[in-house]
Copies of this chain bind each other. A is one copy, B any other.
Amino acid sequence: MVTALDPAALLEGVREGRPRAVGRAISLVEASSPLVPALVAGLAPDTGRALVVGLTGSPGVGKSSAVGALVARLRERDQRVGVLAVDPTSPFSGGAVLGDRVRMQEHALDPGVHIRSMATRGELGGLAAAVPAALRVLDAAGCATTLVETVGVGQSEVAVAATADVTLVLLAPGAGDGVQLAKAGVLEVADVLVVSKADRDGASALAQELRAMVNHGRTEPGAWAPPVVLLSSTDRTGLDEVLGAVEDFVAHQRASGGWERRRARRARGEVEQLVLARVRADAPGGGGELDRVAAEVAAGRLDPYEAARQLLDTPSGR
């Protein structure tokens, strides 16, 4: 029995990969509990091993089905797997419903799969701080791979790319958004392009179109050219091809130094979010001065640079 009042037992439970302990730890992270810094520090020696795979794409492109099928394949390889379904698109409504979690039910009773959905709670940036900590929990729990699924329109896929070691961008035939997405810069964050719903008409035409785009865009010698892989979650075909493309990318990254650069960028983003959390009123150990100085700035009584300087120079409680 794990309780929030026994941090040592919680740490132990997470390290052993016990589902209740993992769930409890991520709940603490989501709630910005004052226990989180100690939890993250305690788990630190057991982290850094998990591969974080981001999946993004427009609504309806089949992300949840793809995640479900990939989890099944990784389980057949005896990997412990984490799934984080992130929905950053409704910050003003205070959290969206992930209806398609239903599709993940085949893994709901598997203790080797940790599934969690996270949504913003009104506050922009709250999720940005919570996701890296949740990834640390899943990492320490022994998940060799964690799949991070987000609704990928605009900057959310950038956030995934900043968090993930590998980013898969999913596109479906007939969705008619291939060109639009390419224009909007989504292809730029893709390490692997996945044509989902490959059992449908138009899948190979879309794949061809994407390959032409990739070849047109990348010319640097030695640069990674995102492969285009066909995946059918219904037929369960293309799963090994997707996972193989991920492995190829990781090997390329390790050889080119890109792996370290990306991990450093991720750490940078994580620390930045914690710096912000500390100057916000509601953060553990935070000075709580942000609201006060922001009101002064809004009223024109303080300029924003002076406000930032004051926040950084306030020693309150730190």
Q: Which residues of A contact B (CB under 8 A)?
A: 36-37, 40-41, 44-45, 47-48, 58-60, 88-93, 96, 124-125, 132, 151-159, 161-162, 176, 180, 183-185, 188-189, 260, 263-264, 266-272, 274-279, 285, 290-291, 293-295, 297-298, 300, 303-309, 311-313, 315, 318
Alpha-carbon distance A188/B122, docked complex (angstroms): 12
A297 adjacent to B180 (CB under 8 Å)? no
Alpha-carbon distance A180/B44, docked complex (angstroms): 40
Q: This chain: how many copies in the complex?
A: 2
Partner of A189, one of B92, B183, B189: B92
- Least CB distance, A178 to chain B, in whole angstroms: 13
B185 adjacent to A93 (CB under 8 Å)? yes
Alpha-carbon distance A276/B158, docked complex (angstroms): 18
- Least CB distance, A92 to chain B, in whole angstroms: 5
Alpha-carbon distance A184/B293, docked complex (angstroms): 33
- Least CB distance, A139 to chain B, in whole angstroms: 11
Partner of A188, one of B93, B132, B154, B260: B93
B268 adjacent to A290 (CB under 8 Å)? yes
Partner of A271, one of B156, B270, B278, B294: B294
**A90-B185 contact given A180-B58, A300-B47, CB 8 Å threshold:** yes
**A294-B308 contact given A155-B159, A176-B176, CB 8 Å threshold:** no
**A304-B184 contact given A158-B91, A267-B294, A298-B266, CB 8 Å threshold:** no
Alpha-carbon distance A277/B298, docked complex (angstroms): 20
- 30 A-B residue contacts at CB 8 Å? A37-B305, A40-B303, A41-B303, A44-B303, A47-B300, A59-B183, A92-B158, A93-B188, A96-B185, A125-B272, A132-B304, A151-B154, A151-B184, A154-B157, A155-B155, A155-B156, A264-B294, A267-B295, A267-B298, A267-B307, A268-B291, A270-B304, A271-B294, A271-B304, A272-B290, A275-B312, A277-B308, A278-B312, A285-B309, A313-B315
